[in-house]
Amino acid sequence: MKIRIPPKLKFLNFSTAYQNFANATLSSFVAVGLSFTGIFQLVEWAYYDQILSFRPIEPPDPNLVIITFDEADLEEIGAWPIPDDALAEILSRITQYGPRVIGLDLYRNLPVGRDGHEALIQIFESNENLYGVTLQGGKNSVGASSVLEEFNRIALADVILDVDSKVRRSLLSTRNEAGALQLSIGTQLALTFLSARGIEPEVLENQDIRLGEAIVSPLRQNEGGYVNADMGGFQTLLNYRGLEDNFHTISITDVLADRIPGELIQNRIVLIGATAGTLNDFFQTPYNGNLFTEQIAPVPGVIIHANITSQLVSAALGDRALLKTIPDYWEWAWAFGWAILGTSVINFWLEHLGRVRGELRSRVTIMLIFIILEAGLLVAAGLALLLNWWIPIMPASFALGLSGLFCILWSNRQLHNLATLDELTQVANRRSLDHYLTQIFTESTTPVCLILCDIDHFKLYNDTYGHQCGDVCLYQVAKSMRDTICQQDFVSRYGGEEFAIILKKTTPELAEEIAWRLCKKVYELNIPHIASETSESITMSCGVSVRALDRPMTKEELIMMADQALYFSKKRGRNRVTVYKKANNQLPESF
């Protein structure tokens, strides 16, 4: 009769590849799940800000000029808000140089000053490429100029603040309560400028917009480092060109004094706005509050709008790319990939190098491996951001660290199993049995029964079927024992073909019943044994001993009594159970 022999006897050990895959899957699943709670969001933003501040300084945008007024300019004018006559004079001087489009980042819903209002209205009416602003930010909303509104030349000055009060997103457009489309001032200036060059926006099927050489995609609520963010309207990441130094700026004083070169304004975008500190039109940006860069003051709102305009124009002309994010499934794959890398490297170290080195040295090396891998992750994500791709770092970083931790825990478990389990049968080894009995015998009142089991005629089985079949037989018998006894009971391999079972808080009668049940289960395995003198199938003999509670007793005595009971089972013909029942558990000379 043939017996099927498994190719390997590591029944309970996963292959390294499967372990790595399972480890990485669990780690990345936990990391991605945590990311949806938003706990990583502030860290993601901080890293994003830091990398943006590391970007090389870009030259000023050649298509845009900012007309600013600070405290000195307001003193020169002598009033705030700027009177209508002064504003009319400023706009008149600017328009004579032929700008392509003008954006007035000033709220002008009411007349200011005694004179000049009619002149200002005339300029508003006669310059079809002049746009004003309105603010619709809830209770702080500010109305628009009725004249500009009549000619549909009003844009939004609203900016989007993240929860840390920084501006990382640009609002390109939204719809009002009536459903009408409203553009932001930055978007309006860019589209008007590009339209003069024959570039018009084209809405694609997936709600993306083709603008010249650029595809503008709306930012969704869980993209980049955002989690459940309010992405109302059409929002994108704001790809800052820089701060005030990255734009051509002219003061209002210079405009009034006619101290500006005309070619700087001709055919360009002109944006007029305040930089005076007392006006409180300032915002935090990714350049503020970073650890490794110079501390920078908040940025005037007009600079925010200029950056929005600049990014759209430059992208449409093919000069600068927009910032992009990757889909959710690629973020998950990114985290999974780093988890796979982490678990593979740590497992390789533990399996091939770590065990031949000292424990302390191995721990230090593993920490260095973690540091190197985490640094590699940060560098990779940083380089991607420098190439205008924002890839979140925290899910991947957490998955990487968690996968390494799982590897170490798994390795420690394997080492523990090597020290406490029999490698072949996967039950406790002799060392664990001795330790367990020692623990029990420190508890003076715990009733204990010990069953010693021996496979009948096992040497003949090995001689007949070979040692490989013998190993399979031992494993199957051990598994049968594990499946038969209660979970709180203890089974171990005592010797070659011998097993020991410890039953706590069990009567001799119940221990005998369990021993017979074990013998029956082994017989029912139907493992053929044609050389057996007892049966055609594998059988087992058992000896049972009981700990005496009425006198001191050692674990060695308990084992010796069970061994003698087992010997008596064999003498009586095998495949049976004998319980040691000598009065007071005295060791007898014979049964």
Domains of the chain plus CATH, in order, are 16-42+327-420 (no CATH), 59-319 (no CATH), 430-585 (3.30.70.270)
Q: What is the pLDDT of residues 343-362, one digit of tens each?
A: 888 888 777 665 544 454 56
Q: What is the pLDDT of residues 145-194, one digit of tens each?
A: 888 888 899 999 999 999 999 999 999 999 888 888 999 999 999 999 99
pLDDT score of 567 more than 90: yes
- Provide, rounded to the nearest whole percent, the portion of the chain with pLDDT above 70: 93
Q: How many residues comprise the chain?
A: 591
Query: In this structure, what token pair is assigned to residue 194?
Result: 């590009």
Query: What backbone torsions phi and psi does residue 182 show, to the nearest 5 degrees?
Result: -125, 130
Cβ contact 11:423 at 8 Å: no
Is 187 exposed, middle or buried (CB count within 10 Å of its CB: 0-12, 13-18, 19+)? Answer: buried
* Nearest C-alpha neighbor of 308 from the set 130, 105, 469, 539: 105
What predicted TM-score, i.e. pTM, was given to this entire model?
A: 0.77
pLDDT at 332: 94
Q: Which residues are catalytic?
A: 497
Q: Dihedral sign, CA of 456, 459, 463, 465?
A: positive
Q: What is the pLDDT of residues 411-452, one digit of tens each?
A: 778 777 788 888 888 899 999 999 988 888 887 677 889 999
Cβ contact 3:528 at 8 Å: yes
CA–centroid distance for 192 within its chain:
42
Half-sphere exposure of 231 (CA within 13 A, CB side): 16
pLDDT score of 548 more than 80: no
- Provide, rounded to the nearest whole percent, the portion of the chain with pLDDT above 90: 60
Q: What is the pLDDT of residues 38-78, one digit of tens each?
A: 999 999 999 999 999 999 889 999 999 999 999 999 998 88
Cα 308 to Cα 60, 152, 214, 283, 393: the distances in Å are 14, 21, 14, 14, 26
Q: In terms of pLDDT, which residue wins out, 551 or 511?
A: 511
pLDDT at 425: 86
Query: What backbone torsions phi and psi does residue 424 show, to the nearest 5 degrees?
Result: -75, -55
pLDDT score of 586 more than 50: no
Helix/strand/coil for 25: helix
pLDDT at 138: 62
pLDDT at 280: 86
Classify residue 179 as left (phi > 0), alpha (psi -120 to 50) or beta.
Answer: left
Residue 196 pLDDT grade (very low, low, confident, very high; cuts 50, 70, 90): very high
Is 125 exposed, middle or buried (CB count within 10 Å of its CB: 0-12, 13-18, 19+)? Answer: middle
Q: Which helix (H) or strand (E) holds 325?
A: strand 324-325
Helices (H) then strands (E): counts for the chain: 17, 21
Q: What is the pLDDT of residues 531-543, one digit of tens each?
A: 988 888 999 999 9
pLDDT at 296: 82
Question: What CA–CA distance (Å, rounded) separates 502 from 351?
Answer: 34
pLDDT at 375: 95
Residue 510 pLDDT grade (very low, low, confident, very high; cuts 50, 70, 90): very high
Antiparallel, parallel or unpaired: β 577-579 and 540-546: parallel
Query: Terminus-to-terminus CA distance in the chain, angstroms?
Result: 39
pLDDT score of 519 more than 60: yes
Residue 588 pLDDT grade (very low, low, confident, very high; cuts 50, 70, 90): very low
